[in-house]
């Protein structure tokens, strides 16, 4: 899915990313992610981006690498001559300023175009990918800290998770994982928002523990599906050595990472979901 969408969206990125089309392309990617993951409009934007690396950063990297390649060309190449003449009258050329702003976004403000020209394309590519991931992660962490709905995502970021639910071939499994990881699973913690219930009033109705029904309670403690949870626990203890001693929030993150990587864990979590919602959702 990611490769299919990105190959279309990134066509001609060397040109359009320096202009005003970047926002429109980002909106298209988010809409495609919503459809593919089977989530609604209430699903946080940052949670969608977490499952699909924002295409705009890849577009900026692709654009920057291309124009830096042009700057390395022999002067007798037409495109190189056009670029060099543009640099000479930079005050009148908008796209060059846009390119420089794009490079600033990658932390290259102090290096400049000439300094980058002394690096190999491989070095530039690795540098920009690392910077892009670091900047995106910083934005995600800032938003996750501000929104209680993104508690699970905070845990996934804390363990530097690279697993994504877009890798599921099964649509229903993608949907389940996306909702659990993005804070929109129809548990009482989420549905209570619709009824304007206070956080402490959103208690689980499936067991007698009198705990708020969030992802942590659902995956780790709810008595309604103890048997199904045992399958998850046994798989996790075998796959992740630290699982037994991890904190509860870390256990939730580890389960949702392994559910995207290991088919048995994914099926076991899916079974718990079916027991909870009786395929209502």
Annotated domain spans of the chain = 2-146, 156-277
Query: Rounded CA gap, 60 and 11, in Å?
Result: 12
Comparing CA positions, the residue from 57, 68, 67, 66 lying closest to residue 25 is: 57
**pLDDT value of position 99:** 60
pLDDT at 108 exceeding the cut of 70: no
**pLDDT value of position 238:** 94
Q: What is the pLDDT of residues 204-229, one digit of tens each?
A: 999 999 999 999 999 999 999 999 99
Buried (b) or exposed (e) across 3-19, using 16+ Cβ within 10 A? eebbeebbeebbebbbe
- pLDDT bin (cut points 50, 70, 90) of residue 244 is very high
Q: Which two tokens stand for residue 80?
A: 């190189």
pLDDT at 54 exceeding the cut of 90: no
C-beta of residue 177 within 8 angstroms of C-beta of residue 168: yes
pLDDT at 281 exceeding the cut of 50: no
In the chain, alpha helices (H)? 2-9, 13-16, 22-37, 45-51, 55-71, 78-88, 94-105, 112-116, 121-146, 151-158, 171-182, 188-194, 215-220, 226-239, 248-261, 263-277
pLDDT at 256 exceeding the cut of 90: yes
pLDDT at 55 exceeding the cut of 60: yes
Q: Give the three-class secondary structure for 203.
A: strand
Give the bridge partners for 203, in sequence order.
212
Query: Rounded CA gap, 65 and 68, in Å?
Result: 5
Q: Name the DSSP class of 212.
A: B
C-beta of residue 96 within 8 angstroms of C-beta of residue 64: no
What average pLDDT does the segment 233-260 reach?
A: 94
- pLDDT bin (cut points 50, 70, 90) of residue 93 is low
Comparing CA positions, the residue from 279, 269, 53 lying closest to residue 180 is: 269
pLDDT at 197 exceeding the cut of 70: yes
What average pLDDT does the segment 160-165 reach?
A: 89
Q: pTM for this structure? A: 0.79
Burial class of residue 241, CB neighbours in 10 A (0-12, 13-18, 19+): exposed
**pLDDT value of position 5:** 66
């Amino acid at each position: 899915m990611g490769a299919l969408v990105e190959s279309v969206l990134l066509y001609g990125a060397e040109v359009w990313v320096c202009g005003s089309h970047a926002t429109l392309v980002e909106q298209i990617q988010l809409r495609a992610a919503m459809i593919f993951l089977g989530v609604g409009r209430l699903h946080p934007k940052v949670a969608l981006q977490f499952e699909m690396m924002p295409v705009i950063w890849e577009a900026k990297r692709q654009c920057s690498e291309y124009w830096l390649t042009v700057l390395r060309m022999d002067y007798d190449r037409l495109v190189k001559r056009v670029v060099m003449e543009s640099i000479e009258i930079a005050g009148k050329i908008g796209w060059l300023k846009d390119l420089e702003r794009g490079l600033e976004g990658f932390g290259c403000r102090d290096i400049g175009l000439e300094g980058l020209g002394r690096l190999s394309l491989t070095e530039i590519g690795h540098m920009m990918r690392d910077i892009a991931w670091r900047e995106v992660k910083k934005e995600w962490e800032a938003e996750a800290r501000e929104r209680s709905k993104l508690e699970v995502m905070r845990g996934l970021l804390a363990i530097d998770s690279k697993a994504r639910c877009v890798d599921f071939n099964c649509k229903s499994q993608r949907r389940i994982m996306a909702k659990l990881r993005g804070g929109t699973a129809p548990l009482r913690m989420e549905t209570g928002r619709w009824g304007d219930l206070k956080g402490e009033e959103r208690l689980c109705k499936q067991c007698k523990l009198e705990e708020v029904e969030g992802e942590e309670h659902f995956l780790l403690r709810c008595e309604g599906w103890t048997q199904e949870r045992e399958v998850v626990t046994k798989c996790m203890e075998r796959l992740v050595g630290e699982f037994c001693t991890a904190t509860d929030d870390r256990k939730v993150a580890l389960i949702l990472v392994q559910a995207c990587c290991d088919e048995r864990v994914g099926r076991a979590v899916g079974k718990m979901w079916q027991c909870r919602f009786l395929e209502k959702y």
